[in-house]
Amino acid sequence: MDKSEKIRLFSIVGHGICIDSEDGERVYDLILEALREGKNIEISFDGVEDITSLFLNAAIGQLYDPRLGFSEELKNRLSVADISPQDSLILKHSVDRAKEYYKNPERFHSATDEILGDDDE
């Protein structure tokens, strides 16, 4: 039996402007729950007028955290529909950055600390 779920961003956010991390977190929670239930997920971008990497990082990027145990499966279990070429590019960049980040999070934190001058000493 093939279990799948369609997640419509417009329905979750309530409008076509997907820019906040809080809205992204709500989407993330739904995706994570569906993954844990063994479902394949299709994310529909139908009706989405504007989207930011901040939203996508919260909604999708954190799914690549290896501690969740899904990062290797996502390519086969997560798909998108109704996405514009421009939004597809933003999504690709967000996913690529997430994969890089989770390969070596300490490197990213060190670079940020160095740029911002954050010393814990």
- Using CA atoms in the order 83, 25, 1, 46, what is the torsion angle rounded to 10 degrees? -20
Give the separation between CA 60 and CA 98, rounded to whole angstroms.
9
Structure tokens that stand for 61 in this block:
């990027």
Q: In the prediction, which pLDDT does 109 show?
A: 52
Q: In the prediction, which pLDDT does 88 show?
A: 96
Q: For the whole model, what pTM was predicted?
A: 0.84
Q: In the prediction, which pLDDT does 71 show?
A: 86
Ranges of residues in the chain with a pLDDT under 50 are: 1, 121
Q: In the prediction, which pLDDT does 1 show?
A: 44
Q: In the prediction, which pLDDT does 110 show?
A: 58
Q: Are strands 4-8 and 50-51 parallel, antiparallel or unpaired?
A: unpaired
Give the separation between CA 37 and CA 57, rounded to whole angstroms.
22
Strand ordering across the sheet containing 78-81: 4-8, 40-44, 78-81
